[in-house]
Amino acid sequence: MEALKAAIAAIHKQRPRTTVVLTGAGVSADSGIPTFRGDGGLWRNYRAEDLATPEAFARNPLLVWEWYEWRRSLVREAQPNAAHVAIAKLPNALVVTQNVDGLHHRAGSTDVIELHGSLFRARCVRENKRTDALDPFTDLPPHCACGALLRPDVVWFGELLPEGAFERAARAVRDADLLLIIGTSGVVFPAAGLVSFHKGLSIEINPQLSALSSSCAYAIAANAAEATPPIVQAVLDAGTDR
């Protein structure tokens, strides 16, 4: 795989000191987590765009929560794959993820910006208070202690990102020596716009060409679990060579 070899050679030559990892659904594909797009993207004949909206929740909170409980059960049984584990080995790296599955945390990454929230938190619609929600809910739709509905603490279509998340990610991407872009289609904004802030070495890992491939110095056509470990190892080796 020539692109992989060339990217590793570039890492050894440039010896990056700071790394930001931008991940999308593809980094979790080898953990068996289905994505919104493509085959298997429907649930009970509903598209994600039909359910992941404030309007859908206001109209039918039970239906929306049934979908999220189904998703949460799938993710709860999944395990971090080789890509998640490798990323967690990068010292002082910031992980900026569009995923809501929490697998970066479970793999050991400690500095993670979850741009789109987490399946395993809930938020009170009245008080806006967030609580961990790791276990299945016994009653759907769930309610806060105050009596109001709880909603998944995720960013739905048409909603803003968590306050300050994009700004912090943009600063980190701008200042990083190395940007790894793993498993993202590059079509979901504003997350996809982060790449434009980077001026250093950029490496994409994705099975197919994405909207970001042409913006990267190296585009590696491979699954995340296959190509991420050798790229991370190169970063670690380059750090010890200083």
Give the active site residues. 116
Longest CA–CA span in the chain (Å) reads 59
Structure-token pair, residue 40 = 């298997």
User: How many angstroms separate the CA atoms of 64 and 47, rounded?
Assistant: 11
Q: Do the bridges between strand 94-97 and strand 178-182 make them parallel or antiparallel, or are there none, so unpaired?
A: unpaired
**Closest to 19 (Cα-Cα) out of 85, 81, 87:** 87
Alpha-carbon distances of 162 from 54, 131, 134, 159, rounded to whole Å: 15, 15, 20, 9
